[in-house]
Amino acid sequence: MKGNLIVGQSGGPTAAINATLSGVIRGAKKAKADGYIEKIYGMRNGIEGFLEDRLIDLDSAFADIKDLSLLEATPSAALGSCRKKLPAPVLGDATYEKIFELFKKYDIRYFFYIGGNDSMDTVAKLSVYAKLVNYEIRAIGVPKTIDNDLAATDHTPGFGSAAKFIATTISEILCDTAVYQIPAVTIVEIMGRDAGWLTTAAALPSLNGAGVDYIYLPEAPFSVDSFIEDVKKALARHPNVVIAVSEGIRDKDGNYISASGKKDNFGHVQLTGAGKALEGIVKEKIGCKVRSIEISLLQRCASHIASLTDITESVQTGESAVRFALRGSTGTMICIKRYETENYEVYFEALDVLSIANAVKSVPEEYMNEEKNGVTQACIDYLAPLVLGELPVTYKNGIPEHFTFD
Amino acid sequence: MKGNLIVGQSGGPTAAINATLSGVIRGAKKAKADGYIEKIYGMRNGIEGFLEDRLIDLDSAFADIKDLSLLEATPSAALGSCRKKLPAPVLGDATYEKIFELFKKYDIRYFFYIGGNDSMDTVAKLSVYAKLVNYEIRAIGVPKTIDNDLAATDHTPGFGSAAKFIATTISEILCDTAVYQIPAVTIVEIMGRDAGWLTTAAALPSLNGAGVDYIYLPEAPFSVDSFIEDVKKALARHPNVVIAVSEGIRDKDGNYISASGKKDNFGHVQLTGAGKALEGIVKEKIGCKVRSIEISLLQRCASHIASLTDITESVQTGESAVRFALRGSTGTMICIKRYETENYEVYFEALDVLSIANAVKSVPEEYMNEEKNGVTQACIDYLAPLVLGELPVTYKNGIPEHFTFD
């Protein structure tokens, strides 16, 4: 099918979402050279910017293909992002009418949306509406999320780089906290509302000899009593105890150990301070020196230590999306699949986005130890290849150089 | 003077304190080869471990000189640290008697103490006591502190690496926060109780085009009213406002904008949450989306992005200390001096530690703009060379490899 192509970025930024954008652009440039498409558009601020008719010509923005390398090493979403949730796809809905009017105006026949769960929801809805109005378009979701919580894919682009930053930071924190002889507990709070994937990365430094004492994930009910027992046991072993905890830990009744109660546009509860909450608990129940560290959004934008494996796969995911679209795929999400071989190797599939959108992939039972305060070797084996390799970084004035459209 | 050498690390860790240790060891190995000294000891956990007779033979620990490269790339204090404050040096004091008994036992004639203000205080007191008891020893303070607040030295080892991490993080946060169109304020809290040096590093990304909106230092009285006016002005210019703030900001009466009120062993007030305090103020007075990020101890241990300039100078500072001691210097601190030339170049001096200890070097008036919400070009010119270059990092399993004595 001939026509034009558009790509957008949505949801929270990662260190790899621009690499995926670069992959789509690389694939699109090839498709253009092969005569399949004519124009390569980018939407500013996702579907929100598209609705405001804010498009950018990506073909000329990256006339020099070398600029794509800089884009790939730039964190966050260069096109801008949004958190817009589309309404249910009902014939005649004003939002959809506007979107499809613009599709027609620009003759958009290839639509790529890079994002997480909520963005896959957008792709699914657009696909449904396209069928309703009989508009031929290939709409494909390109996954990204540091949370690694998308179903059907072995892992998500962006996760490996965040995991590498977390593992590195934990390793450095382990050096830092080891210096004093006074009993002290350091609690590192890691992102992950419902899925503890990012927090499992705190286990990786153990491959190099130094490990955290405990890892608590939202997948297992958190018990304050067991936690205090764990900490006491660790303090009996050595003075400096380091604990990794997911922001989303909750008790057996499902109550977050700490929650502000506010909700975001998608109805998710906004969390703060599981680490701070545990800090208070240790102070009260044990009384030793205790500190909590929130890695915060640094973990999702630390491009300066991006995983080469992650960035390479992110580019490939974008390229694959274009390839699958040209072959006729629509209403799908590109999934990374791992071969069951000894050496880590992946391939790509395009799977029905409807069956993926809004499903959450949790850390499975077999990746957690029996006490639910650590991870298993199987979990480490799963994680290890994802953080391998370092993306070359261009420094300017001693600071990583970043790409910007403006 | 013939005899043995001992080196210790004290105070809070940095990314460069092990590079300085390496420098002392490199200098000591040379001095040993030249026949000046016999044994090279390290004290575990600083003067506290020394008092417990916990020494380590550094010459054999680094029989393979290649291990020093790994030590130089390892954050924190490999020998361990302490926060012990020595009493006033009065003849017959039990602590000093114990220390000098151990000096005699091991024939320690060269004493190197790597640390910040409080560690220089230890060197000064030991020098005074050595004269009182007529014990010939060359005691030299080797500076380190990410805070850059030591007097007499152009800058301190450890500062450049922390500044590089902060500048890189700020640059990545600027990418991250730029994606949405909704007005939002991001407040980044940076370490610095009394001196705002680390916070000034937030100005460096402006060299690459992207800059923070405001920088607030503890050196200038903080006014909540002016702050709110500043934020409103920035929000009128663009939706995403990023502010760097030192943890030590205080009002015109000297009250910290946020302080827990607890004091550490040296009587310093322990601070938490200037960022959180400002977050609350913006929420209340402006009501837009607001978030605060505490870079926390990551800024002092991020060896994976250490400044090559800083690490090189840190090694040189350690080597210089041994050189000055061999020439007879004692009761001194090694200072880095900058030539007044166009190209950045430094030399080293050994200056009286008594006149340095416990003095605080603040960010000078001419480095702050008139409105006291940003820094001047002179400040950026001072900072820029200190973050240049990247220390090569050895990765193992995708995570930086670290040295450990255990």
| Rounded Cα–Cα distance for residues B7 and B112 (Å) | 5
Which residue, A111, A147, A146, is CA-closest to A353? A111
How does pLDDT run across A52-91, given as a tens digit for each residue?
999 999 999 999 988 999 999 999 999 999 999 999 999 9
Residue to test with chain A: of B52, B169, B298, B406, most A Cβ within 10 A:
B298
Chain A interface includes B175 (CB < 8 A): yes
Between the CA of residue A378 and those of A197, A364, A383, A386, what are the distances in Å? Answer: 13, 10, 9, 14
Residue to test with chain B: of A119, A181, A399, A401, most B Cβ within 10 A:
A399
Contact residues on chain B for A175, CB-CB shorter than 8 A: 13, 74-76, 301, 303, 402
Examine the pLDDT at A122 and tell me if it is beyond 60.
yes
Residue A272: predicted pLDDT: 54
The conformation of residue B318, written as its DSSP 8-state character, comes to H
Interface A:B, Cβ pairs < 8 A? 180
| Rounded Cα–Cα distance for residues A88 and B7 (Å) | 69
Q: Which of A76, A171, A180 shows the shortest C-beta gap to B400?
A: A171
Residue B264: predicted pLDDT: 47
Contact residues on chain B for A399, CB-CB shorter than 8 A: 164, 167-168, 171, 204-205, 207-208, 387
Closest-CA residue of chain A to B186: A297
A354 pLDDT band, cuts 50/70/90, is confident
How does pLDDT run across A5-44, given as a tens digit for each residue?
999 999 999 999 999 999 999 999 999 999 999 999 999 9
Ordered strands of the A108-115 beta sheet: A55-57, A37-43, A3-9, A108-115, A138-143, A332-338, A346-352
DSSP string, B196-244: -HHHHGGGGGGGGT---SEEE-TTS---HHHHHHHHHHHHHH-SEEEEE
Instruction: Answer yes or no: do A399 and B207 touch at CB < 8 A.
Output: yes
DSSP string, B373-387: SSB-HHHHHHHGGGG
Chain A interface includes B384 (CB < 8 A): yes
For residue A250, the cross-strand partners are A256
When pLDDT is averaged across residues B164-178 and rounded to a whole number, the result is: 97
Single-letter residue type at B388: L
Contact A172/A186 with Cβ under 8 angstroms?
A: no
Any residues with CB less than 8 A from the CB of A70 and at least 6 apart, and which? A394, A401, A402, A403
Any residues with CB less than 8 A from the CB of B257 and at least 6 apart, and which? B222, B224, B249, B250, B251, B274, B277, B278
Residue B267: predicted pLDDT: 57
Contact residues on chain A for B175, CB-CB shorter than 8 A: 13, 74-76, 301, 303, 402
Examine the pLDDT at A175 and tell me if it is beyond 80.
yes
Residue A315: predicted pLDDT: 98
| Rounded Cα–Cα distance for residues A378 and A294 (Å) | 27
The neighbour count for residue B67, using CB atoms within 10 Å, is 14
Contact B348/B152 with Cβ under 8 angstroms?
A: no
Residue to test with chain A: of B242, B393, B397, B406, most A Cβ within 10 A:
B397
Single-letter residue type at B363: V
Residues of B assigned a catalytic role: 147
ipTM over 0.90: yes
Residues 323-382 of B with CB under 8 A from A: none
Chain A interface includes B395 (CB < 8 A): yes
Between the CA of residue A26 and those of A76, A228, B319, what are the distances in Å? Answer: 19, 52, 51
Instruction: Answer yes or no: do A298 and B169 touch at CB < 8 A.
Output: yes
| Rounded Cα–Cα distance for residues B335 and B356 (Å) | 10
Closest-CA residue of chain B to A294: B294
Q: Which of B82, B297, B404 shows the shortest C-beta gap to A293?
A: B297
**C-alpha dihedral over B290, B379, A403, A296, to 10 degrees?**
-40
Residue B219: predicted pLDDT: 97
- Beta pairing class for B332-338 and B346-352: antiparallel
A359 pLDDT band, cuts 50/70/90, is confident
Contact residues on chain B for A77, CB-CB shorter than 8 A: 179
SS3 A17: helix
| Rounded Cα–Cα distance for residues A98 and A49 (Å) | 12
When pLDDT is averaged across residues B125-131 and rounded to a whole number, the result is: 96
Q: At what angle do helices B159-177 and B308-326 cross, to 10 degrees?
A: 170
Which residue, A123, A114, A122, A128, is CA-closest to A156? A114
Structure tokens at A369: 């130890």
Contact B289/B183 with Cβ under 8 angstroms?
A: yes
Contact B300/B12 with Cβ under 8 angstroms?
A: yes
Instruction: Answer yes or no: do B400 and A302 touch at CB < 8 A.
Output: no
Contact A352/A370 with Cβ under 8 angstroms?
A: no
- What b/e sequence results for B149-175 when a residue is b if at least 16 CB atoms lie within 10 Å of its CB, and e otherwise? bbbbbbbbbbbbbbbbbbbbbbbbbbb
Which domains occur in chain A, in start order? 3-157+303-358+389-400 (3.40.50.450), 160-301 (3.40.50.460)
Contact residues on chain A for B70, CB-CB shorter than 8 A: none
| Rounded Cα–Cα distance for residues B92 and B6 (Å) | 23
3-state SS string for A131-188: HHCCCCCEEEEEECCCCCCCCCCCCCCCHHHHHHHHHHHHHHHHHHHCCCCCCEEEEE
Among the residue ranges A287-291, A402-406, B356-360, the one predicted with the least confidence is B356-360
* Residue A380 to chain B, least CA–CA distance (Å): 11
| Rounded Cα–Cα distance for residues A98 and A76 (Å) | 28
| Rounded Cα–Cα distance for residues A38 and B140 (Å) | 71
Closest-CA residue of chain B to A293: B296
- How many angstroms from the chain centroid is the CA of residue A325? 23
Examine the pLDDT at A228 and tell me if it is beyond 90.
yes
Task: For residue A104, give the H/E element and its range.
Answer: helix A94-105
Examine the pLDDT at B263 and tell me if it is beyond 60.
no
Averaged pLDDT score across all residues of chain A: 94
E-assigned strands of B288-362?
Answer: 289-294, 332-338, 346-352
Q: pTM here?
A: 0.95
Chain B interface includes A83 (CB < 8 A): yes
Residue to test with chain B: of A179, A283, A386, A403, most B Cβ within 10 A:
A179
Contact residues on chain A for B76, CB-CB shorter than 8 A: 172, 175-176, 178-179
Single-letter residue type at B252: K
Instruction: Answer yes or no: do A164 and B295 touch at CB < 8 A.
Output: no
B229 or A261, which is more confident?
B229
For residue B140, the cross-strand partners are B112, B332
Between the CA of residue B234 and those of A379, B51, B95, B212, B241, what are the distances in Å? Answer: 46, 55, 56, 10, 6
Task: For residue B359, give the H/E element and its range.
Answer: none
The pLDDT > 70 percentage for chain A reads 97
Chain A interface includes B399 (CB < 8 A): yes
Structure tokens at B359: 């003095």
Contact B203/B212 with Cβ under 8 angstroms?
A: yes
Contact residues on chain A for B178, CB-CB shorter than 8 A: 76, 80
Instruction: Answer yes or no: do A167 and B398 touch at CB < 8 A.
Output: yes
How does pLDDT run across B286-336, given as a tens digit for each residue?
999 999 999 999 999 999 999 999 999 999 999 999 999 999 999 999 999
* Helical ranges in A243-372 per DSSP H: 274-285, 298-301, 308-326
Question: What's the count of helices (H) and strands (E) in chain B, helices before strands?
Answer: 13, 13
Q: Which of B74, B209, B399 shows the shortest C-beta gap to A168?
A: B399
How does pLDDT run across A311-347, given as a tens digit for each residue?
999 999 999 999 999 999 999 999 999 999 989 999 9
Q: At what angle do helices A308-326 and A17-33 cross, to 10 degrees?
A: 40
- What b/e sequence results for A112-138 when a residue is b if at least 16 CB atoms lie within 10 Å of its CB, and e otherwise? bbbbbbbbbbbbbbbbbbbeeeeeebb
Task: For residue B1, give the H/E element and its range.
Answer: none
Instruction: Answer yes or no: do A301 and B173 touch at CB < 8 A.
Output: yes
How does pLDDT run across B269-288, given as a tens digit for each residue?
544 589 988 998 999 999 99
Residue A163: predicted pLDDT: 98
Residue B265: predicted pLDDT: 52
B355 pLDDT band, cuts 50/70/90, is confident
Instruction: Answer yes or no: do B389 and A398 touch at CB < 8 A.
Output: yes
How does pLDDT run across A39-63, given as a tens digit for each residue?
999 999 999 999 999 999 999 999 9
Examine the pLDDT at A264 and tell me if it is beyond 50.
no
Averaged pLDDT score across all residues of chain B: 94
